[in-house]
Amino acid sequence: MARGRGGGLTRPSTARVLLVATGVLAFVARIGPVVVAGMLRGAMSYDEGVHLQVAQRLLAGQVTYRDVLFVHPPGMVLAQVPIAWLGQLMGEPSALAVSRCLAAGIGALTAVLVARLLLPRGLLAAGIGGAVAALFGPAVAADRVALLEGALSLGLVVALSALAAVERRGPAQPAIAAPAAPTAAVAPT
């Protein structure tokens, strides 16, 4: 409950409850099975380990593509640099746990943004869209580890949200976000 203008408590809006429930559902769907299986701090994905190793080498002063052979775009390596730094402080298993929780959080944020994007169409549409985004098998599987797919999904939903915001403003009020929306969809990589 939040405080209203008169200082009394007000009820949270149904839309807000829906968005929070979507985020919790998506986060639990992604991280829950990993925790139950005891894999939060263990090896799960080859690419995830490669990204973390290249980020560790970047921290050690080696330059990706010059000193280290790496055939993927640099986005995930740069995103993993803080995780690699945490690995130096806390150990790699703990850094992997933080990385996986962040990946699940990105997946949860994506599901919340899908629901938010659909709110103008009604609570039912937002609830169904958010639930599908939260529980869609390939998305859940991809968002359990820190890979490109989660960041790409988030970027696409952010781009769609920006385009929807421009559409709501109408042609009389152009927005700066419109040209940036396609860029936002691919920027995380």
pLDDT tens across 111-150, in order?
Answer: 999 999 999 999 999 999 999 999 999 999 999 888 888 9
* pLDDT at residue 184 in the model: 46
What pLDDT band is residue 60 in, cutting at 50, 70 and 90? very high
The domain segmentation of the chain, as residue ranges, is 11-147
User: What single DSSP character describes residue 63?
Assistant: P
Closest CA to 149 of 179, 182, 104: 104
Q: Dihedral, CA atoms, 70, 71, 72, 77, nearest 10 degrees?
A: 0
Q: Which residue has the higher pLDDT, 128 or 53?
A: 128
Lowest mean pLDDT among 6-10, 33-37, 68-72: 6-10
Percent of the chain's residues with pLDDT above 90: 49
SS3 10: strand
Is the dihedral angle over the CA atoms 58, 64, 69, 70 positive or is it negative?
A: positive
Among 66, 72, 143, CA closest to 112 = 143
Mean pLDDT of 161-166: 90
Q: 126 is written with which tokens? A: 């937002």
pLDDT at 186: 45
104 CB contacts (<8 Å, ≥6 apart)? 26, 27, 30, 31, 34, 143, 144
Question: What is the pTM for the complete model shown?
Answer: 0.80
Is 185 a residue whose pLDDT tops 50?
Answer: no
Q: Are 48 and 150 in contact (CB under 8 A)?
A: no
